Structure 1
């Protein structure tokens, strides 16, 4: 009886994690986040947080390549109801389709894997939060669909849906 309760609990937690989008298995050119985010880009999205509801978010970014082949991405984030803030990503390719880096919002390393026309980004945040993002390159190569899920103790506490355009 005890095993059954544990199994049900694990299934419930597994249901809270984000599944790979279908685009991750579709053929097409491999997505290169360093190339896409070099230069300016703009994102518009909706953040849905437990206990706070849905808020609009805009993100203006400028990506600067570094001599070591890495990218520094500086973002100005405007979230409805909050003052604007800046955050900085650093991302470097370490193997074909694999990137590592840092983010001022993260409490640990940022891990990124290119999977077909998508990339999956994972990192921890303060307070025991875990972030998983799927960036999906849309046809034409100048627009991304960003699907982010934030979990705590395996339960979904926030989602973001954003459209990012290369400028």
Structure 2
């Protein structure tokens, strides 16, 4: 292989690697405040969010009202979305169960298969696949979803929407308990 070809392959690898997000949850294990998924979402929550495309342009702006409840070992989240920019799903219901190993398994009406969740101190990581409608098309994408406790009643959620391992869009949502 020539030096030019080696440099080209190295450059492509660096560019592709730089297009994806990867967070290691273990770094949040000892951070506070601790985030308890069931305690935070077991009540009414309001969220304000945006979706940005690969260029950083805001393509959706929305609010979400979440009515949460814990029923036995299952967290149920009834979500209602309102869009000020763009459009998307208006309703989603999550059912999330804590396993004996301390992991979480979630299901929702528009999620492909189960979502896998892990708690890390003041962070929570959720991964899942979704058939995401965009215009007249639907794309099979992966969500890499991170929740971070900002206080007892406030969290920040960052989601990376990936296709072929590359980040195609990012979602940022701030959520707070409401009475």
Specify the TM-score bucket, using the shorter chain as the normaliser.
0.7 to 0.9
Q: Is the deviation greater in 30-39 or in 115-124?
A: 30-39
Q: Which residue of 1 aligns with 2:144?
A: 132
Residues in 1 aligned to 2:38 and 2:6: alpha-carbon distance in whole angstroms: 46
Displacement of 1:96 in angstroms is 5.2
Unaligned runs of 5+ in 1: none
CA distance in 1, matches of 2:6, 2:166: 21
Pairwise CA distance, 1:28: 3.1
RMSD, aligned α-carbons: 2.7
SS at match of 1:17: coil
CA shift, 1:57, in A, is 1.4
Distance in 2 between residues matched to 1:14 and 1:96, nearest whole Å = 32
Query: Using the alignment, how far apart are the partners of 1:30 and 1:94 within structure 2?
Result: 19
- 1:43 aligns with 47
* Alpha-carbon distance change, 100 to 148 in structure 1, aligned in 2, over 3 angstroms: same
Pick aligned residue for 1:149 from 155, 160, 174: 160
The Cα of 1:49 is off from its aligned counterpart by 2.6
Query: Structure 1 pair 52/144, CA: closer, same or farther in 2 (3 Å)?
Result: closer
Q: Which sits farther off after the overlay, 125-134 or 52-61? A: 52-61
- Normalised by the length of structure 2, the TM-score is 0.79
State the partner residue of 2:17.
14
Q: 2: CA distance between counterparts of 1:73 and 1:32? A: 15
Instruction: Give aligned pairs, total.
Output: 165
Query: Which residue in 2 is equivalent to 1:111?
Result: 116
Asked if the contact 1:64/1:72 (under 8 Å) is kept, the reply is yes
Higher Cα radius of gyration: 2
- 1:33 paired residue number: 37
CA distance in 2, matches of 1:4, 1:104: 46
Q: Distance in 2 between matches of 1:22 and 1:100?
A: 19
1:75 to 72, 76, 79: 79
Contact 1:30 1:114 in 2 (8 A): no
